[in-house]
Copies of this chain bind each other. A is one copy, B any other.
Amino acid sequence: SPVDLGVGYGLSAALTLGAALGAAALAGRPMLEGARLAHAIEVRLGTGLGDVAAEYYGGGIEMRVRPGAPGVGLVDRIPHPRDLVAVAVDLGRYPTDRMLAELRDRLAAAGDRYMEELMREPTYERFASLSREFSREVGFLGGDLEGRIGACARYADTYYAKKRVLLFLTYRDEAEALAECLRGVGLAPRGFALSEAGAKIFTDRRR
């Protein structure tokens, strides 16, 4: 995989979801049943919260409007510019179960406040500013790091940190200038296109 577990990419949910959907497909069961099982496993193990529902139904910049398993919770989309790309830097590992043990209360309180604000005006601009403020407030984004990347910020619409992923939102034709700048301050950036689809499940060809 191009990304690692425990950094903040939602990979544990993606692996669990992929396995559960594959098992459901082989058994001729509904995909939603597989997705719900994956959600239950993630919650039970404390490795994720709403990642499964977002990855199953999401696309682009997703917003978790109502918590819960796929079919119970509700995911919506925030419109964004068409040629947007994400440039990510891994800042280390921080397993979700440890994060929840250390930060659960702070994340829940700040999360509620920021989500309420975002849902009042769910636009790309608000997402860009609120996500940065949130990652500062809960301690994902420290002053040292912000000082270090300060000169690179002009190549992006915004940056924020989710767990140990530092993420910039920029445009296809600016991504290389941003990456160059980040390498200049000793970081290892990687570019990602945004997927507009949720989980894609394919079977073998029939004939």
Residue numbers of A with Cβ under 8 A of B are: 21, 25, 28-32, 57, 59-60, 65-66, 71, 74, 76-83, 119, 121-126, 157, 171, 196-207
Say which residue of B32, B76, B81, B205 sits within 8 Å of A32 (CB atoms): B76
B31 touches A79 (CB 8 A): yes
Complex CA gap A207/B206 in Å reads: 48
Which residues of chain B come closer than 8 Å to A122, judged between CB atoms? 28-31
Among the interface residues A60, A66, A79, A81, which one has the most CB atoms of the partner chain B within 10 A?
Answer: A79
| Given A30-B65, A32-B65, 13 extra CB contacts under 8 A | A21-B79, A28-B123, A57-B57, A59-B197, A77-B199, A79-B202, A81-B202, A82-B202, A82-B203, A157-B206, A196-B197, A197-B197, A197-B198
B80 touches A202 (CB 8 A): yes
B205 touches A79 (CB 8 A): no
Whole-angstrom distance between the Cβ of A204 and the nearest chain B Cβ: 7
Complex CA gap A25/B79 in Å reads: 7
Which residues of chain B come closer than 8 Å to A201, judged between CB atoms? 60, 77, 79
B124 touches A203 (CB 8 A): yes
A206 with B31, Cβ < 8 A, contacts A57-B57, A71-B74, A197-B59 known: no
B123 touches A83 (CB 8 A): no
Which residues of chain B come closer than 8 Å to A21, judged between CB atoms? 79
Q: Which residue on chain B has the smallest CB distance to residue A118? A: B30
Q: Closest 10 CB pairs between A and B? A: A197-B197, A79-B201, A82-B202, A81-B205, A32-B76, A196-B197, A79-B203, A196-B200, A25-B79, A30-B122
Which residues of chain B come closer than 8 Å to A60, judged between CB atoms? 200-201
Which residues of chain B come closer than 8 Å to A200, judged between CB atoms? 59-60, 196
Among the interface residues A30, A83, A119, A171, which one has the most CB atoms of the partner chain B within 10 A?
Answer: A30
